[in-house]
Amino acid sequence: MTVLWQGIEYPVAQWDTHGFTLQRAIPSVVSPGNGRVVDVQLMLGEGETRIQMQVQARAETGDSAKLRYQFIDLGRAQSELLHRVVDYALTKQELSLTQLLNDSRETRVARQETTQKTLAFRTWFQISLACMALAGAAYMALGSVTQVKSRYAAVSVAAANVSVPASGMVSQIDVTQGQHVQTGQTLAYLRAADHDDRQMALSDHIRALEAEQAELGARRTALQTRDTNAAHLRSSERARLEEAVARADRRLALERAQLASLHAAGGLPTLARQQDKARQQALALSAEADLAAAKGALQALREAEALGLVGPQGLTASAETLEALDLRLSHLSREIALAYGRNDALYAGTPVTAPCDCVVAQINRVTGEWAEPAQPMFVLAQSGATAVHALIMADTAQRISHGDRAQIRLADGQQVTGKVARLNYDNNWAGFAGLQNSVFAAERYARVEIIPDHPLDARIGMTAHTVIKTQTPLGRVLGQLGL
């Protein structure tokens, strides 16, 4: 406690409900006179939170040092507050000034009752915690007997895994999840690692075929033009030879007629007549030779035309024909069309086809991703709903029976219930997709099929955690309670 007098605080050495004693006297210049009642401020407490109380005090008579002061006419509230401060100070109970100010008999009784209730609640809570711990330990001990947990589980379905035939990049996917597909239907296309080299080689081959086609087309045009000109020349040559044959024939007729007239003329066979006959005979023979030569040339021309061996320069031994060029051009056209078809197929890639009439349950790749043969690209589901397949230690699986209830917690947070449908000590079931067979030491596990009570909305292969309630009496009770 300190005493505030005229703006200055004076420390108090002792105080009680009747008055106080200062540690040092108030200077005589400002001190109140003996017997004079003055108003002072009592500052109760320490630190920032203090109670300020205004009281009247008077210096005791006979105290020359003016250290002892008595309270004059304290109010009831002031007196009660001072009493409480003294009581708590004597009992060494440290309460805040706010509590001291608000404390009363009723609050003290209420505080004692609260303390007793707190002790009772603490005792009850400790006993409850102990009981819960014992119950939990008992449940865990019994649960280890009535519950069987899986080491590994996943959403599975009767399906076929479709992998790519070789490593490559997925260039195109032609189906969507949930689509029905037929056997042999194309699911996707795959480009092999050497796709670019193969396509470049095929493009070079197509360009070579097209260059040969263009060259043969030019040669055919030239040959057709040459044959047209040759036909015109042959027509002129044939007309000339026919005219030559006609002239030679007329000449031969004239020469023979002249020779016949010489033989028919009478008279003596004089030397002049003999010479005329000989000369006419020579002319007739010459006319026959010219006629034979003209007919031979005409016959040779006709035979050459029949064989197609006549060119613009005459007969040739191995002339190229339009028919041969047309045949080669036809083959080239078909070969180029096939090459373009192979190029289109090569651009899309190698087709991946469906092995059965199924439903596309899952697509594990997207266009542009790399695919390996060891990684299933599609999961094609057959008839039947999805289930959960779990791997359980073979010796533990002996406690499981068909119809046992199970709790399933999927990796995405879904929680469903189901029952055991099948149990097989061979962990690898053919015809199912979802649960990986490459689990470490898989031969030590049995495979359990759990059918959910409601259809699962989860992708094939999603991992899960299963707890199977065995058909012991306690297990049946826990299963009914959902524990």
Q: Using one digit for the tens of pLDDT, what is the confidence trace for 142-189?
A: 555 578 888 778 888 777 788 888 888 888 899 998 888 988 899 998
The answer to whether residue 313 scores a pLDDT higher than 50 is no
- The helix/strand/coil state of 20 is strand
φ and ψ at 146, to 5 degrees?
Answer: -95, -10
3-class secondary structure for 81-107?
Answer: HHHHHHHHHHCCCCCCHHHHHHCCHHH
Q: Across the strands, what pairs with 4?
A: 9, 41
Question: Cβ(385)–Cβ(209) under 8 Å?
Answer: no
DSSP assigned state of 447: E
What integer is the mean pLDDT of 54-75? 78
- pLDDT tens digits, 69-89: 888 888 888 888 877 777 665
Give the pair of three-digit tokens for residue 60: 């005791």
For the cut 60, the answer to whether the pLDDT of residue 101 exceeds it is no
The answer to whether the beta carbons of residues 146 and 476 sit under 8 Å apart is no
3-state secondary structure of 64: coil
**Distance (Å, whole) CA 252 – CA 51:** 171
pLDDT digits 0-9 by tens, 217-264? 888 888 777 777 667 777 788 888 888 889 888 888 898 888 888 877
- Average pLDDT over the chain reads 78
Confidence of residue 103 (pLDDT cuts 50, 70, 90): low
3-state secondary structure of 247: helix
Q: Are 41 and 4 in contact (CB under 8 A)?
A: yes
- pLDDT band with cut points at 50, 70 and 90 for residue 358: confident
Residue 481 has pLDDT above 60, yes or no: no
Q: What is the C-alpha separation between 410 and 454, in angstroms, rounded?
A: 14
DSSP annotation of 456: -
pLDDT average, residue stretch 365-383: 83
Determine the Cα angle at 118 with ends 117 and 119, to 5°: 90
Kindly indicate the confidence band of residue 417, based on its pLDDT and cuts at 50, 70 and 90: very high
216 has pLDDT over 70: yes
Give the residue with greater pLDDT, 363 vs 100: 363
What pLDDT band is residue 427 in, cutting at 50, 70 and 90?
low
Report in angstroms the alpha-carbon separations of 126 from 123, 133, 194: 5, 11, 75
Rounded to whole angstroms, how far apart are CA atoms 42 and 37?
A: 15
Assign 266 a pLDDT band (cuts: 50, 70, 90): low
- Is residue 316 pLDDT above 70, yes or no? no
Residue type (1 letter), 53: M
pLDDT band of 303, cuts 50, 70, 90? confident
Supply the pLDDT for residue 267.
65
Model confidence at 317: pLDDT above 50: no
Q: Which pLDDT does position 385 carry in this prediction?
A: 65
Q: Give the DSSP H/E element, type plus range, for residue 175.
A: none
pLDDT value, residue 78: 81
| Residue 107 or 69, more confident | 69
pLDDT for 314 equals 47
Instruction: Give 23-43 pLDDT, tens digit per residue.
Output: 888 887 777 777 788 888 888
Q: Which residues touch 375 (CB under 8 Å, ≥6 apart)?
A: 163, 364
Q: Structure pTM?
A: 0.36
Nearest partner of 385 among 287, 458, 436, 473, judged by Cα: 458
Detail the DSSP E strand segments found in 163-313.
Answer: 168-173, 180-181, 186-192, 310-311
Percentage of residues of the chain with pLDDT beyond 70: 79
